[in-house]
Amino acid sequence: MDMIRIANQVDSIVIVSGNGVFADVVPHLQAKGIKVECCAFKDSLSDVLGRQVDQYHLLDDQHLYHPSDD
């Protein structure tokens, strides 16, 4: 994963996904002193990922693209 590759170059990483597959890598990043945050919709945020990250931000409809009906 690119997160592990760049871990020595950053202070924080934001995961824009709720997929629980990312939960396994979070403790490794945190052990390197990296703050890990997650942005995801409530229905798609894995419980495991939500517990692993330092902070999560829930997205809602206001974060979706709504093209104007011209």
Please answer whether residues 13 and 26 qualify as being in contact, where contact means their C-beta atoms are separated by less than 8 angstroms: no
Count CB atoms within 10 A of the CB of residue 63. Answer: 10
Q: What is the pTM of this model?
A: 0.85
In a domain, 69, yes or no: no
> For position 1, what pLDDT does the model report?
65
DSSP codes joined into one string, 24-53 = GTHHHHHHTT-EEEEEEEGGG--HHHHHHS
In a domain, 38, yes or no: yes
In a domain, 36, yes or no: yes
Instruction: Report how many domains make up the chain.
Output: 1
CATH of the domain at 23: 3.40.50.1010
> For position 61, what pLDDT does the model report?
82
Domain that holds residue 52: 2-60
What tens-digit pLDDT sequence spans the chain (70 residues)? Answer: 689 899 999 999 999 999 999 999 999 999 999 999 999 999 999 999 999 999 999 998 877 777 875 5
